[in-house]
Amino acid sequence: MVKKKLMQLREKQLQKKEASENAVVPRITNENVAEHREEILSGARKYIYPLQHSKHRIVVLTVSLVIATVLIFFSTTVFLLYRRQSSSAFLYQVTKVLPFPVARSGNTFIAYENYLFELRHYIHYYETQQQLSFETEAGADQLAAYKKRALDDVVNLAYTKQIAEERGVSVTGNEVDEQIRIAREQKRFGSNEAIFEDVLRSYWNWSINDFRRSLSNELLVQKVTRSLDEETEKKAGEAYAKLVAGADFAEVAKQYSDEEFSRDNGGEFGEVDPSNRNVSQQTVDTLLRLPVGQFSEVKVIPYETGYALEIVKNLEKTATGAKGAHIIFRLKDLAATLNDRKEQHPYRLYIKLPE
């Protein structure tokens, strides 16, 4: 019986082998290659289609998450800037990248980043150097005043830039470098580069580039103020022409100078050295660079709460500095021109400051 089953199994195996050997292998030619390729691909599609469907769902889900994240981020940022008026370091960095406006004048938008740039250095100075807490009632009132001041500053600067563009006034990098040189040589921010940067960071949380930006804005205001006051420019030109022609400096000072303190003394303001803080740093730098007996060209300087034109004369060298005299031509305040411009071209604020 067993022998019979083995014989049957052997016979089946031989039949399978014989059928396999007699099977016809399809021949692929140029005429039927497309047909065979389609046959192979059709067998694979049942695996490919589910994979493609999964990829499509992943792409749709990812795009949806990105859009939702962007919308949430944008909405939160708008709320914090315009409703809460937050001035955090994170939001400040956001406004450096995204041009959120704080105000608008005509077709010109005033960047929120400009406002935070001004406000944050006020806050940093009074928190770190004056130990002022803005959590107290007095501190909150002070912060409200700083916010208004910072906003006024950036709005006025925007109008000043418009005037500068109209009058072809600009500030070069060399002019900014010159102001930094003066500050460094007079050690107004320390005796070396490291201390200079540390003072900027400690007092105003500024980098060198931030300081350059502030200087550039200040110089632009100076130059625009000068360009608008043609009457004072003419007066200074007349005085300078008389000096060039050989007139006595003291007599010209008595005739033209707008500074009562020194005018009656022939413009003399005493002895100064590089560390002097009672005279503008530009005046000190000009005086110390002049040869004895020589006078400078007409230059614009910060003066009291505004700006003035100045001619400086070196009267005498001293052991630590020099004795000098100057003629001051007070420039008209830019505020009147800016106020007129604001009436003619009103601006719109996008934030509401507390009264």
Per-residue pLDDT of 124-153, as tens digits, reads: 999 998 888 888 888 889 999 999 999 999
CATH fold of 87-228 reads: Triger factor/SurA peptide-binding fold (1.10.4030)
Q: How confident is the model at residue 62 (pLDDT cuts 50, 70, 90)?
A: confident
Determine which of 122-131, 248-257, 294-303 has the lowest per-residue pLDDT on average. 122-131
270 φψ region: left (φ > 0), alpha (ψ -120 to 50), beta (else): left
Share of residues in the chain with pLDDT > 90 (%): 64
Taking the C-alpha atoms of residue 25 and residue 18, their distance in angstroms, rounded to an integer, is: 14
Whole-model pTM? 0.80
Q: CA triplet 178, 306, 317: central angle to 5 degrees?
A: 50
Residue 177: which residues within 8 A CB-CB, separation 6 or more?
A: none
Alpha-carbon distance of 338 to 159, in angstroms, equals 7
Q: Residue 44: is its pLDDT beyond 90?
A: no
- What is the tens place of the pLDDT at every residue in 271-290? 998 888 788 999 999 999 99
Contacting residues for 120 by C-beta, under 8 A, at least 6 apart: 87, 92, 205
Is residue 268 classed as helix, strand or coil in its secondary structure? strand
Q: What is the pLDDT of residue 240?
A: 98
**Confidence grade of residue 93 (pLDDT, cut at 50, 70, 90):** very high
CATH topology of domain 230-334: Chitinase A; domain 3 (3.10.50)
Check pLDDT > 70 for residue 343. Answer: yes
Burial bucket for residue 134 (CB in 10 Å: 0-12, 13-18, 19+): middle
Q: Closest Cα to residue 311, out of 343, 283, 352?
A: 283
